[in-house]
Structure 1
Amino acid sequence: MRIAVVGTGYVGLVSGTCFSEFGHDVICVDTDEGKIASLNAGQVPIFEPGLQAMIDKNSRSGYLKFSTDLQSAVAAADAVFIAVGTPSRRGDGKADLTYVYAATREIAAALTGYTVVVTKSTVPVGTGREVERILKESNPKADVDVVSNPEFLREGAAIEDFMRPDRVIVGTLVKRAQDVMSAIYRPLSLSQTPLVFTSLESSELTKYAGNAFLATKITFINEIAELCEKVGADVHDVARGIGLDRRIGSKFLHPGPGFGGSCFPKDTRALFETSVEAGAPLRIVDTVIDINERRKRDMAGRVIAACGGSLTGKKIAVLGLTFKPNTDDMRESPSLDILPELVSAGASVAAYDPEGMQEARKLLADIEFCESSYATLENADALVIITEWNEFRALDLDRVKSLMKEPVMVDLRNIYDPRDMADKGFTYSSIGRPV
């Protein structure tokens, strides 16, 4: 199959690369000439494990190309995937569909022959119908079907998720479009991946509903962690106890400083706004959004409490800035709420992240950025772990203690054992566990 992917952001780049790995001829298109030039030179603009090697391989084989020429890419394509950004709109939290509709108009002008236009971007219910309307209005002679095909990629594990998904959701009831999508995803039939065909509306809502449910699980266990601290229970025992129930499952039941990233915050807001417009407000989702925002802000209070109630004149070392490990994505990361609060409370903050430093420098002011974990710790009054990168899981605690002015650790990801930390002489604070 010949595939054009419009947009070389996270979703577009990963999707286009994986389609080429399936053996399809793929052209990834973007208006950013600098980004396309970098990709053609073998430079990948995002950090995602395995992506660089897969791009290199399929670029050499000729299956994967990068271009700014949308018209030529679309004209030759059997399927065109729209994978542009849908950020939260300022003021109301709704998904900003400006880029989706702009891409749709450009695609309409370039269509030749039968083409399936696929929304890969995360979009609210009804977007597919509007894309369909724009295509027909802009090019009445176009032989086109519109399909929804949401992505379910976890940053840091996106290649695995694309190549071995739990399911593929395809929003179309048109047989001709179903045949094209079946051909695109045929390589997954060897692993018996369910290919689920639905209406456009059901597919669009499935994406939002899935993310909102996972965000709710995270928020629920964070609330339970708060209760555990009050009654002397251990949140990990509780999480394991309920997670072994197959109706609940163990995933997304690890307590922390709140969810962030490019999907959950944006998608929960957009889903709630959609529900309000439809006259069926999702009160659970609204509560999840509110609790998560408050939780991220409240984490600074834990650091202040661990330091005796005041940060004035104290140095705080921070390990981990991205919203999760194995990505350089800083979007909606808890660190963006926590670190400014520490600075406002009178602390000097030194920070380190294995991959997120470049983005963090753009977003965080008055922070000292260090070149390693241990450099961050020199003369620190407290250490705060925000992101659970593997290299933070096995720190030399004797060395850590020798570098710090005071052996205080606030572990917001629970990667250390409280008893071990006590034996090492640390004043240790974690989430949802007895002191």
Structure 2
Amino acid sequence: MSEYDHMSGDAAPELERIFEAMPPARGRGFARTWWGQTWLKALEDTALDGRQLKQGRKYAREGAVGAVSVRPGRITAMVRGNDRVPYRADVLLRELDEDEWDRLLEMIADEAGHIAALLDRDMPPTLVEDAAGAGIELLPGIGDLEPECGCDAWDHCHHTAALSYQVARLLDEDPFVLLLMRGRGEREVLDDLQARSTAKAAQAAAGQDRAEREGSDEPEGVPAQEAYALGAVLPPLPEPLPPVTDDARVAVYDGGTEAPGVDVGALELLAADTAERARRMLAEALSPDHAHRPVPAPLSQWQDAVRLASSRPGRSVTARLAEGCDRPERDLGPAVRAWEFGGAAALEVLETDWSSDSPEEAVLARARAQVDSAWADDDARPRFRTSGSRWTVVGADAQLRCGRDGRWWPYRKERGRWWPAGNAEHGPASALAVVLEGPESSG
């Protein structure tokens, strides 16, 4: 889920975190964590009408809750009901006063494990128990979640219930959402904990010096937990490094003495490939949206061999790449062509014929419907021989293959084998037109 923060003013700003609308929650329940479950128990104990809660849970599960705004003392979202009319729903929770915050933060700073847990987006029961011991109820109880809704309901209606169920999912991921509702944002809390931890460490160091001067046998240093927690609550990181612009370069082996058993061409290929991948990874890591990009799936041995072969190394290197994967060298030709057209996805289409018994049956059914409707004139529609996800044109060296993502890949028979003939297309007619335009140059 993504979020962004709004801050107004310079001193002690009110912080607002806005979480984008989440997708439907089919196949999973609400509140995996114990603190999320406590939140929902407060809702269920407070609401007087169980039917409203059940309907609200249904709305939340179906994705009827819009973007959620979390502010001190209040959460807000637009919720659509059965009539599709959006209503503004608010749920209020009492903010902690200054004295309560001081006691809470002092308690957390006293326990290094509490700081480490919060940084791991965890809220151990001991933290809540220690807060209660200091007279602070962090999690809501019966009657603490106060509803307000544009539908004018006086109790929790299905709109405020849906919002509360959705917020349970946010709390599962980040307990700082609860602290914000109680009055302070994450940065403010961590800055305060850092200041308190620094002061405690300075006091401990001063006490150590005093003990040494007085000849005490007390061991030197501070407990490891305190040292870890102090290091974990850090100030903001420095400015990022400048963008990577230089090309990746490696030293070239210039011959000299022969190294028995070493393929110099293969070694140079691997070194150059490693340098280029490192340069590209560093450039991506420094890009502004790097944190939001999905982690790419690791390549299999064969996929990586095809990727390397696409750089057109010498014949000996190509042969060794195929041999290392227990594949004949002739398999690399079509595979490299597929890789150049579409990477790992195109390589899977080359080597996989998935059928109607696969989990993607809906994709295959949609593909059959596309073929049926792709040609307006029945006389113009080619005759196909179908096998799984492959449509071969009868009487022509042309074939269409449908990928698991629903895209269409053109293929042409060359030298007795089917070779990729172009990039993926969104429809079968446009993909077939690529095949019929002319022969593709062989790799």
TM range (shorter): under 0.3
Q: Say which one has the larger Rg.
A: 2
Q: TM-score, normalised by structure 2?
A: 0.23
